[in-house]
Amino acid sequence: MEQICVVTTVVDARAVADGLAATAVADRLAACAQVGGPVDSTYRWRGEVETAAEWSVQFKTAPGRVAALVDRIRAEHPYDVPEILVSRVECGDPAYAAWVRENTV
């Protein structure tokens, strides 16, 4: 199977999540992006424990596009320290993996 990657981030507003998803797909940095939420996140920030509603964005991309996608997310992200996680998919449908590659070149 051709390898694909899932890049995940969270943001504080649905409109921001939708914007990140749309530009990444339009610019072929990701073949698709899924927006979900809201989810309640609890975290430590500046010495305090906080809870906030956030929206998750999962991008599916080819390994060769990960660096550019991460750079774009970082540049457009509203947080000082954005969560940007990259996972390599070990196994999946070969046709889907081919579709991801074809749509990120």
pLDDT at 85: 98
Please give the mean pLDDT across all residues of the chain. Answer: 96
The model's pLDDT over 56-68, given as tens digits with 9 standing for 90+, comes to 999 999 999 999 9
Residue span of the structural domain in which 36 resides: 5-102
The model carries a pTM of 0.94
pLDDT given at position 91:
85
Mean pLDDT of 63-75: 97
pLDDT confidence tier of residue 1, bands split at 50, 70 and 90: low
- The predicted pLDDT at position 18 comes to 98
Q: Give the C-alpha separation, 37 to 11, whole Å.
A: 10
- Total domains present in the chain: 1
Domain CATH number, residue 82: 3.30.70.120
What is the distance between the alpha carbons of residues 9 and 41, in angstroms, rounded to a whole number? 12
**Residue 2 pLDDT > 90, yes or no?**
no
Position 86, amino acid: V
pLDDT tens digits, one per residue of 18-55: 999 999 999 999 999 999 999 999 999 999 999 999 99
